[in-house]
Amino acid sequence: MGRLISAEFRKILTTKMWWALLIPTVALAALWSIGGNALVGAIVDQTDQSEIAGAVKANVSNLPWSTLIFARTVNISALFPIVFGALAVSSEINRRTITTSYLTAPNRGTLLGAKLITYAIWGLAFGVVITGVDSIGMAIASHPEQLPDAVSWLEIAGTGILSCMLWTLLAMGIGALFGSPIAAIISLLLYTLLVENLIGLVLPDNWPGILINGSADGLTGSVAAQLIVDKVSTISPYFNQEAQDAASNIARTLAGARGAFDWWISGLIFAAWTAAFVVGGWFMSKQRDIT
């Protein structure tokens, strides 16, 4: 297994795909985090001076709004680790290198296990880069009073990294399931960016939160939303439980995770989706004839 993991790392590092995907990842994360935080800062400044804020006696500008943008940035930047993972198996099938890979591995299961570990590590690496760029962008563009504290930042960065890793593995499973890079990438992007949003619109309450993208967004978005809701109760004495729930839902929607469950439930749901696709891909790979 160790040999095969080393071989997988060599496969990745001897081609350009990893940095060809890493560059746009950094660019996209920087763009979203800087642009988003600047926008939110401007909106909050407007709201703060409005009459509603004064009526509820809330100092809106002191909330950690930047975490919402942080979560959204992670979710959109995960696009690239998704592509990276989707190519893990499907590209080998497409380029026919899978033949030699199978011929030099004890069996197909071992090779896929080695790939799973390798791509989990790479998914984590992508997550670290994304959350790193995201944090820097946030620090640059956000109002200082809207930044999260250190513990909150660790929480949200941790879920962001976990989300990227799971996305990479889920995409790898889909790539192995379909056996075609184009089919895997197109269907993943189409589904996460379009189809699930349409489905989510017609689903009531918490239902969007059990879908693939919904649970993934919930993993990061719910943490961010919770940080804001927790803060709200400290700044406004009129905030009862009912109002907190309502605010929480609004905050999750703002974080791009409408209807999501708490972060750990979302995480478990998303991990289950990942496991389902990995098992599906593993099963298909066992069956597939390499002709």
Partner 1 sequence: MHDGSGRIVVQGLSKQFGPIIAVNNLSFTVEPGSVTGFLGPNGAGKTTTLRMLLGLVRPTAGGSTINGLPFEQLGNPGRVVGAVLEAQGFHPTRTARNHLRVYATAMGVPDERADQVLALVGLSEAGHRAAGSFSLGMKQRLALATALLGDPQVLVLDEPANGLDPEGIAWLRAFLQSFARTGRTVLISSHLLAEVEQTVDQVVIISRGQTVYYGGLDYLRQSQQSRVLVQAADPQALVTKLQEAGVNAVEPTPDGRLAITGVDRKTVADTAMAAGIALYDIQQENVDLEQLFFRLTQGQYAGQQPPPGYGPPPGGGWGPPPGPGYGPPSGGYAAPTYAPPQGYPGTPPQGTPPGYAPPGYAPQGTPPQGYAAPQPGYAPPQDYVPPPVDPQQYQQQYQPQAAPPPEQPPGGGWGGNA
Please give the residue ranges that form the binding site for partner 1 (CB under 8 A): 3-4, 6-7, 10-11, 14-16, 95-97, 99-108, 287, 289-291
Is residue 90 a contact partner of residue 181, using CB atoms and an 8 Å limit? yes
Which of residues 57 and 96 has its CB atom nearest to partner 1 in the complex? Answer: 96
Nearer to partner 1, 57 or 95 (CB): 95
CB nearer to partner 1: pick between 50 and 97: 97
Cβ contacts of 176 within 8 Å, gap of 6 or more: 88, 89, 90, 112, 278, 280, 281, 282, 284, 285
Residue 131 CB, shortest distance to partner 1, in Å, is 30
Question: Would you say 1 or 279 has its CB closer to partner 1?
Answer: 1
CB of 185 to partner 1, least distance (A): 18
Q: Of the two residues 74 and 111, which places its CB atom closer to partner 1 in the complex?
A: 111
Closest contact distance (angstroms) between CB of 286 and partner 1 is 9
Q: How far is the CB of 151 from partner 1 (least distance, A)?
A: 41
Distances from the Cα of 177 to the Cαs of 87, 159, 165, 229, in angstroms?
12, 26, 18, 40
Residue whose CB is less far from partner 1, 5 or 31: 5
Question: In the structure encoding, which two tokens stand for residue 91, read together?
Answer: 């590209």
CA end-to-end span of the chain, whole Å? 25
Rounded to a whole number of angstroms, the minimum distance from the CB of residue 189 to partner 1 is: 23
- Quote the least distance from Cβ 94 to partner 1, whole Å: 10
81's CB contacts (< 8 A; 6+ apart) are 21, 25, 122, 123, 126, 127, 130, 164, 165, 167, 168, 171
Residues 6+ apart with CB under 8 A from 117: 1, 5
